[in-house]
Amino acid sequence: MDDDRQDWTLYETNDEDVGPKLWLLRDSLPAGLDAKQYPQAVVIEWTYADEGLPDAATLATMHRFEKHIGPLAGHSVLVHIIRGRGVSELCFYTRDTGDFMDGFNRLMARQPRVPIAIEFLDDPGWEYRRSIRANLTPDPDTTP
């Protein structure tokens, strides 16, 4: 989707209360990116089941969707993908949610509908990203 994910780490968890989860987190921001210029978080959630991880067919459909919206990386930065407990979550940071959605709608105009919900967060300090990283990294960085 967004570059070839060389600067990402995959974490696997299996908490008794939550079940299995896969966390794909960006380790650092692209070179030259000024996080202050991307103050809006866009969280896309795809509900696929009541619990657990997606089956192979659903996962393949998710991968096609993610690849299809890959060009949004020109207007935003993808910071994580989390799958588990019946939900897949993608989180982008963008300069402008209106521009992001215009691009998203253009890319998805002729594509099959997918079961997603989109939430926007005013997050100039990238606190949501930090909170996700704090769940998994022993020493989360202090920069976005």
User: Please, what are the domains in the chain?
Assistant: 8-132 (3.30.70)
Say if pTM beats, i.e. exceeds, 0.95.
Answer: no
Per-residue pLDDT tens digits for 76-133? 999 999 999 999 999 999 999 999 999 999 999 999 999 999 999 999 999 999 999 9
Per-residue pLDDT tens digits for 55-73? 999 999 999 999 999 999 8
Q: Give the DSSP letter string of 28-83.
A: SPPTT--GGG--EEEEEEEE-SSSSPPPHHHHHHHHHHHHHTGGGGGTEEEEEEEE
